[in-house]
Amino acid sequence: MSVHISRHVDDVLDNLSTRKDVTILAGGTDLLVEINFGRIRPSNIVAIDRVDELKDHSRNGHIRMGALVTYTRMLETDVGSPALQEAARTIGSPQIRNAATIGGNLGTCSPAGDTLPVLAALEATVVLRSKGGERRVAFGDFMTGPKKSVRRPDELIVAAEWEDAGEAQTYMFAATRNAMAISISGLALVVDRARRRVGVGLGSCGPTIIRATDAERFAAGLFDETGWDRPARPSDAAAREFGRLAAGAAKPIDDVRGTVAYRRHVLAVMGARALARVAVVP
């Protein structure tokens, strides 16, 4: 196994295009687990954690978050998405949050990746770059299956981008342990009051992150009635209906972490709670 330490994006791209069987190492919190379990045996590793260009984070209405932004940094700064911040808070332990990156969460592309429902709800764009140039893929088109994405082996994830959607958003997940647990199911809700748009992303309840479009439409209808600019508590019945629709979009399976029945149930509870919480945020 060879390890190449890169300091520049161009150098990373050179390595990705010229060498065979190259694996990118960012924080390593997923990659090393895979290696330990013997699931992969990479022959060439390109370590990107010293590539400063990938650590940039800019926001001025439009947010661009470099692939190497860690969860700890998301918690320390205003990242331009409260839900993403809440997602960062749910992840791992302090040690993991210090090392693990958003690029790695996208690179792994697990249905349980906690930033991904938020990126889905934000309608974020994944920025990929190769020797051949840059392409921008809507998150909804990026993930194609469990741990599968449209990223080509010669492409580097350089950033995630989204429009600032304001403060009315949240992320939550259910797990049997109170910290350091992989979610049984997770839900992100973004109410973009300015653009009059509702986004709902569901995690750990299907092969990809799922957009709950019926629930989005239902909530948009509610805001159309009550007014998008005005915080207002939804009725219990409306919150429950929103939860029911969100859960209805899920395609859960039974696995060691949870059952189909529980996943549907808890998504409905999370949906109702999320709407009740977010609708009162200006």
Q: What is the C-alpha separation between 173 and 263, in angstroms, rounded?
A: 11
Binding mask 57-86 for other proteins (x = CB under 8 A): -----------------------------x
Closer residue to other proteins, CB minimum distance, 12 or 182: 182
Tokens of 257: 């972490």
Closest to 140 (Cα-Cα) out of 183, 169, 173, 109: 109
Which CB sits closer to other proteins, 53 or 167? 167
Compute the distance between CA of residue 19 and CA of residue 7 in angstroms, rounded to an integer.
17
Residue 27 interacting partner from other proteins, ligand FAD, none (CB closer than 5 to 8 Å by kind): ligand FAD
Exactly one of 7, 89, 195, 233 binds other proteins (CB under 8 A); which one? 89
Instruction: Report the DSSP pairing between strands 57-59 and 148-149.
Output: unpaired
| Identity of the residue, 66 or 113, whose beta carbon is nearer to other proteins in the bound complex | 113
Rule CB under 8 A: which of 93-132 touch other proteins?
Answer: 93
x/- site string to other proteins, residues 228 to 257, per CB under 8 A?
Answer: ----------------------------xx
- By the rule CB under 8 A, 30 interacts with other proteins: no
Segment interacting with other proteins, rule: CB under 8 A, options 103-111, 133-141, 222-230, 268-276: 268-276
Report the run of H or E that residue 11 belongs to, with start and end.
helix 9-18
Binds 156: which of ligand FAD, other proteins, none (CB < 5-8 Å by kind) = ligand FAD
Smallest separation, CB 211 to other proteins (Å): 20
Q: Is the Cβ of residue 96 or residue 281 nearer to ligand FAD in the bound state?
A: 96
Distance (Å, rounded) from C-alpha 225 to C-alpha 161?
30
> Which residues contribute to the site for ligand FAD (CB under 6 A)?
23-31, 33, 48, 67, 90-92, 96, 99-101, 103-105, 107-108, 113-114, 156-157, 180
Q: Binding residue for other proteins (CB under 8 A) from 23, 70, 149, 170?
A: 170
Quote the CA–CA distance of 183 and 91 in Å, as a whole number: 10
- Reported in sequence order, the residue ranges of the chain that DSSP labels E, i.e. its strands, are 2-5, 22-25, 44-47, 57-59, 62-66, 125-130, 133-138, 143-145, 148-149, 156-163, 169-174, 185-192, 197-203, 210-211
| Region of residue 136 (phi > 0: left; psi between -120 and 50: alpha; otherwise: beta) | beta
User: Smaller CB distance to ligand FAD: residue 44 or 226?
Assistant: 44
Out of 39, 61, 177, 225, the only residue in the binding site for other proteins (CB under 8 A) is 177
> Of the candidates 20, 21, 178, 237, which one interacts with other proteins according to CB under 8 A?
178
Rounded alpha-carbon distances, angstroms, from residue 176 to 24, 181, 260, 278: 32, 7, 15, 24
d(CA 216, CA 200): 6
Give CA separation, 140 vs 124, 200, 212, in Å: 8, 12, 12
Residue with smaller CB distance to ligand FAD, 30 or 161 = 30
| DSSP run (H or E) holding 220 | helix 213-226
The residues binding other proteins (CB under 8 A) are 33, 36-38, 86, 89-90, 93, 170-184, 186, 256-259, 261-262, 265-266, 269-270, 273, 276-277
